[in-house]
């Protein structure tokens, strides 16, 4: 003991102070580090629970969007004149070919069922679907209301959608109803969860007990979560169209995320204790090195003064030995600064003059650059104005004004060179109904698609224009009437091949040829008359102007 005390006394005062301060700080910080670790653990667990709940809500929203998409697809095929007529006439062959066989193949439905207005089966996918009569979507569709929802049959959960058959003008009574369904199986559920951004486990467990038990814990009439799922992930009840709970939707975190949480807690424990020890050591060393830093300040000030920094001073306000030394050093630095002050002032004046000259030169260069930029912008603005004057802003085709100018020029050229000149005018069938159903953005996108087909089909010297609204025009110089009809028919087929996400696309065409000696406006009138004859004849066809039919 005596030898330890003797060795302790012989140590420098800085080393002894370091060890004492390090021991005290470690003793005080150990409980604080333990509390910090518990707080980090609770925070990470709460964050994981919140993330799981958000993922569950995202999956439920994605499931609702899937139901809405299913209902929109069904409604697209129920508001259809041909379907209304076929069901009214009980044309079973047409119904099977265009609805009950085509829809499951095209949209991967498990079944499609068509009933007439009296509720009798008109056509359906193979299988016994009599239980559909008891579902809420079926009953609502028979009352003229479209709806979609979930339905449990045994241990199978179905996505159902039903809509009444009506003609496109809604002027006749509904002819029946269409019911489609899709099984909520593992692949579909996995696709829905991935669309919501969730890559972990997801599952649906049907509630087979009926009537639902009343639990004092969960509330009256609310079933308890499935055993073995509580605490693993987040769960949510799924309800059918009548509001009855039919299944539990469970979302489980990815295994990589669980491993990350355990690894994060382990790293947090290590970092906290390492940080605590390092903090105690750093604080102790800081106190010990404080005395050495005071001497180092004098050394650095002397080096700055020796290198020509006349502003070097030692700031030490305390009145002790270091304070006396600091005042003597600052007095010496002040005298040296006054000796070289005049020379420094002359040098600064020369530098100021040089900087002023450089600033003026920089301003001149900047003004020149701004003038060049303004000139380039003016040229670009003039070009854009010239282009906008003859171009339709939505489709990029020539506008009505540019078309009229091109028509007069082409008519004069046809008269002078004795060449044929033909005109094809067409518009999109049922565009107003499409615009009202899917909105103006979808209508604008359809106009751009049709314009792209017209632009790609036109020759370099043809004039493709948007005549107005959904009506387009294609002026064909040096083209006979027969050749123009071939061009119109090719355009009609290309427009029908447009892949629109909302509905099939078709157009009606009118074709006319220029008769020498007539005004150019007559060619537009004759093509427009042929166009309206094509629309009156059933649309999606090409008609040639006939004087006796005008």
Please name the residue that has the structure tokens 């180092």: 296
DSSP strand pairing (234-239 vs 421-428)? unpaired
For helices 520-536 and 400-417, angle between their N-to-C axes, nearest 10 degrees: 120
Tell me how far CA of residue 520 lies from CA of 130, 390, 462, 527, in angstroms: 65, 19, 16, 11
Can you tell me the distance from the alpha carbon of 273 to that of 40, in angstroms, rounded to the nearest whole number?
Answer: 13
CA 341 to chain centre: 67
Give the 3-state secondary structure of residue 541.
coil
What angle is formed at CA 223 by the lines to CA 218 and CA 224, rounded to 5 degrees? 65
Nearest to 115 by CA among 44, 201, 180: 180
Nearest to 309 by CA among 275, 277, 344, 281: 344
What angle is formed at CA 101 by the lines to CA 96 and CA 105, rounded to 5 degrees? 165
Give the 3-state secondary structure of residue 114.
strand
Peptide bond into 440 cis (omega under 30): no
* 470 catalytic per annotation: yes
Nearest to 491 by CA among 467, 510, 478: 510
Can you tell me the distance from the alpha carbon of 505 to that of 203, in angstroms, rounded to the nearest whole number?
Answer: 39
Nearest to 302 by CA among 331, 323, 324, 333: 333
CB-hemisphere CA count at 13 Å for 462? 19
Give the 3-state secondary structure of residue 358.
helix
Q: Which of 470, 482, 499, 526 is catalytic?
A: 470
513 Rama class: left (phi>0) / alpha (psi -120 to 50) / beta: beta
Q: Which residues are catalytic?
A: 470
């Amino acid at each position: 003991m005596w030898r330890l005390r003797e060795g302790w006394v012989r140590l420098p005062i800085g080393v002894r102070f370091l060890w004492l301060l390090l021991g005290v700080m470690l003793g005080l910080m150990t409980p604080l580090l333990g509390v910090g670790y518990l707080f980090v653990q609770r925070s990470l667990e709460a964050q994981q629970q919140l993330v799981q709940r958000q993922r569950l809500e995202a999956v439920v929203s994605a499931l609702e969007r899937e139901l809405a998409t299913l209902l929109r697809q069904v409604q697209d095929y129920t508001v259809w004149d041909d379907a209304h007529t076929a069901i009214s006439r009980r044309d079973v062959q047409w119904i099977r070919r265009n609805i009950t066989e085509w829809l499951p193949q095209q949209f991967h439905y498990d079944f499609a069922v068509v009933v007439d207005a009296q509720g009798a089966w008109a056509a359906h996918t193979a299988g016994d679907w009599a239980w559909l009569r008891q579902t809420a979507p079926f009953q609502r569709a028979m009352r003229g209301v479209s709806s979609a929802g979930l339905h449990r049959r045994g241990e199978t959960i179905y996505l159902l959608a039903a809509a009444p058959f009506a003609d496109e003008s809604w002027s006749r009574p509904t002819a029946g109803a269409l019911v489609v369904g899709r099984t909520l199986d593992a692949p579909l559920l996995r696709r829905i969860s991935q669309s919501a951004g969730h890559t972990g486990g997801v599952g649906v467990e049907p509630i087979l007990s009926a009537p639902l038990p009343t639990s004092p814990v969960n509330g009256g009439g609310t079933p308890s979560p499935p055993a073995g799922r509580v605490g693993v992930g987040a769960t949510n009840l799924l309800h059918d169209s009548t509001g009855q709970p039919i299944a539990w939707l469970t979302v489980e975190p990815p295994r990589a995320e669980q491993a990350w949480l355990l690894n994060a807690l382990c790293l947090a424990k290590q970092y906290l204790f390492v940080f605590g020890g390092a903090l105690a050591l750093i604080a102790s060393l800081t106190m010990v090195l404080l005395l050495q830093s005071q001497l180092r300040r004098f050394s650095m000030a002397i080096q700055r003064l020796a290198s020509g920094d006349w502003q070097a001073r030692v700031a030490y306000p305390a009145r002790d030995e270091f304070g006396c030394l600091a005042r003597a050093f600052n007095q010496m630095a002040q005298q040296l600064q006054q000796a070289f002050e005049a020379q420094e002032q002359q040098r600064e004046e020369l530098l100021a003059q040089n900087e002023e000259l450089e600033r003026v030169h920089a301003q001149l260069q900047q003004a020149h650059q701004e003038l060049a930029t303004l000139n380039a912008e003016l040229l670009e603005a003039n070009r854009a104005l010239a282009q906008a004057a003859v171009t339709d802003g939505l489709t990029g085709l020539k506008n009505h004004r540019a078309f009229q100018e091109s028509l007069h020029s082409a008519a004069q050229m046809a008269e002078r060179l004795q060449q044929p000149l033909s005109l094809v005018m067409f518009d999109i069938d049922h565009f107003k109904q499409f615009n009202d159903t899917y909105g103006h953005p979808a209508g604008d996108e359809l106009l751009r698609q049709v314009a792209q087909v017209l632009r790609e089909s036109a020759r370099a010297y043809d004039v493709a224009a948007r005549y107005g609204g959904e009506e387009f025009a294609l002026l064909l110089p040096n083209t006979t009437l027969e050749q123009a009809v071939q061009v119109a028919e090719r355009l009609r087929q290309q427009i029908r091949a447009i892949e629109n996400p909302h509905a099939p696309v078709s157009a009606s065409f009118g074709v006319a040829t220029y008769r020498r000696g007539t005004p150019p406006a007559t060619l537009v009138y004759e093509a427009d008359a042929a166009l309206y004859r094509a629309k009156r004849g059933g649309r999606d066809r090409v008609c040639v102007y006939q004087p006796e039919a005008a």
